[in-house]
Chains A and B, each alone.
Chain A
Amino acid sequence: MGQEYRNVWVFLERRREEIIEPSLEVLGKARELADKYGDKVAGILMGAGNIDKLAETAVSYGADLVYIVQDDVLQDYSTIPYSEALSRIIIMYKPNIILYPATRNGRDLAGRLSAKLNLGLSANTVWLDIVEDGILLAGVPGFGGGIMAVTKCLTKPQMATVRPGAFPKPQPEPSRTGKIERIDVGKLPEPPTKNVEKIFYTVEDISKAEAIVIAGIGIRENIQVVKKLAEKLNWAFGATRPLSDEGLVSRDIFVGATGKTVRPKIALIVGASGAAHFISGVAGAEKIISINIDSEAPIHSYSDYSVVGDAYKIIPKLLEKLEAEIK
């Protein structure tokens, strides 16, 4: 027997014929952790048909090897066949760490695996480090985002789901080489759930935006104007959680500890007070300009440029000037 519990695994979630960006971000972080501990990074790729091209992509983003499990029942993500296949290869290869993107499928799978194999699991982590004996420390934002709980698994493999946007996507290196290995896991169960409809649509993913306007509850009555401003600038539009809780904006665009993490070059924040759970989602912005009428609002301290003023007057004026400037 070789040494047990080696290597950092990353679950490579697919969306149709591509690896999703959050999995590539996790690959980048896994590379860093593995290098620190002198370990290897393995990507786990499941699907039907030929998916070798995706394995090559994973290698270019930092994987040393990619395990491919190929079976007709793995065509689309489905909890039962996916968790069964993954648990079999975990038992075969005994990785030290398994990281999943904290997407809906990633959390669906990791939660199932945790109970299946009786393994500890850290959720929605935004910070990871590896210490002696290959122990993974995982930072989980909690209680409004101003607090981070540093968690540790007591079992191996150590598992964590990783927040999309928490780590930057690495630069691919097409010249990197890695090993691609097909694994035969035996017969897999059919999914007990029958997929009767699947619809893909493009939603703008604000976590990838280079520039964003974010509306807070303070501009509730004039949110349409803020949206228009974002359109005029051709920037992404986001909001704080209270606006989403009130149903004024979609849940896909709220920024904060329980929503999206953004890391734009510039963020213009309008009418948000700057609560910790919001700030933690925007802290990665290179430049922050904020407008808030309350001079005591914490948002001003987290801004590079701050305006104490009435956004209800400033934003329409700004829009007017812009419209004159950009024809």
Chain B
Amino acid sequence: MMHIIVCMKVTPKSEQVRLDPNTKSIIREGVENEINPADKNALEAALQLKDKHGCKVTVLGMGPPIWEPYMKLAISMGADDAILISDRAFAGADTLATSRTLASAIKKIGEYHLILCGEESSDAGTGHVPPSIAEFLNIPQITFVNYIEILDGRIRARRVLEGAHEVLECTPPVLLSIEYGCNTPRFPDFRRKRWVDKEFKLKVWSIRDLGLDEAEVGLKGSRSIVEELREMKLGERAREKISGTEDEVVAQILNIIRPYIKKK
């Protein structure tokens, strides 16, 4: 049976995040969290393959213990197993240290055929973690995928580029990063949720379980750092008011835009 590992992150709902202008730090209080939207699409893609081919799906996250409900949500949606790698030593990781840590957890899981990740996270938005994990695992990658098929044990994936797409085939194991919005994630199954609440045990692994050194993970294992947070100057403008009756307003708008109208 094919084993699919889905890497998952929990992110703050980006529209709710604010910067404290005095301390220049991010205000996290009162901000709701969610499964990173693209990761949810990756999970749905894995569950669709499970529905069709009977795969085993494991979700893997790296974060604090408060992520437990989100990991369990993935089980209620249909995943078979969930592992949270959680350790204070992992804090402050850049994409390189994050990828290294996730890759060593994947190695510990052992046999796998597909690794699915969301194409990028909604908070950091780098998209660099999936290719870095693939390199640490020394397996091929197909990034920005919006469609997957399994054909005679081969993986076929459609990769979306700027103004192009390509269809690639590969023998597993392979890592795929899944395009945000390419499918509609299912709702959790009610009966499954009851079982999860009662009986499901989330596996939690620490740095020791992974056999990693503190110098390889978290802030210490990072090779890029944030020097400071700056508020971006968004350039306030003249704000010349246009008012009057609707016809007057329309006439004024027309006067402003007329020089820019392009003849076809």
Contact = CB atoms under 8 A, between A and B. Distances in A.
Interface of A: 15, 20, 76, 79-80, 83, 103-105, 107-112, 114-116, 118-124, 137, 139, 141-155, 161, 192-203, 205, 210-211, 233-235, 245, 247, 251-252, 257-258, 265-266, 268, 275-277, 279-280, 283, 287-289, 291, 300-309, 313-314, 317-318, 321-322, 325-326
A200 B157 CA distance: 17
A276 B234 CA distance: 8
Interface stretch (B52-60, B189-197, B222-230): B222-230
Task: Name the residue among A144, A146, A287, A313 with the largest chain B CB count within 10 angstroms.
Answer: A144
Of listed A20, A107, A200, A321, residue having the most chain B CB within 10 A: A107
B164 interface: yes
A137 B161 CA distance: 28
Contact of A79 (B99, B131, B133, B264): B131
12 contacts: A79-B134, A107-B131, A108-B143, A111-B129, A141-B232, A143-B26, A144-B14, A193-B142, A200-B163, A276-B234, A283-B235, A307-B242
Contact of A305 (B127, B170, B230, B240): B240
Contacts of B100: 115
Contacts of A306: 239-242
A264 B174 CA distance: 41
Nearest to B184: A247
A322 B249 CA distance: 14
Contact of A304 (B231, B237, B252): B237
Nearest to A284: B235
For the residues of B in contact with A, the DSSP-based class is mixed
Contacts of A120: 94, 96, 222-225
A208 B133 CA distance: 34
Most chain A beta-carbon contacts within 10 A, residue among B94, B123, B251: B94
B127 A111 contact: yes
A73 B131 CA distance: 20
A193 B140 contact: yes
Interface in B132-167: 132-136, 140-144, 156, 159-167
Complex A-B, nearest 3 residue pairs according to Cβ-Cβ distance, in ascending order: A111-B131, A120-B223, A123-B126
Given A118-B96, A251-B180, A300-B239, 14 more contacts: A80-B140, A123-B126, A124-B125, A146-B18, A147-B26, A152-B227, A154-B224, A154-B225, A192-B174, A194-B168, A198-B167, A276-B232, A301-B239, A307-B249
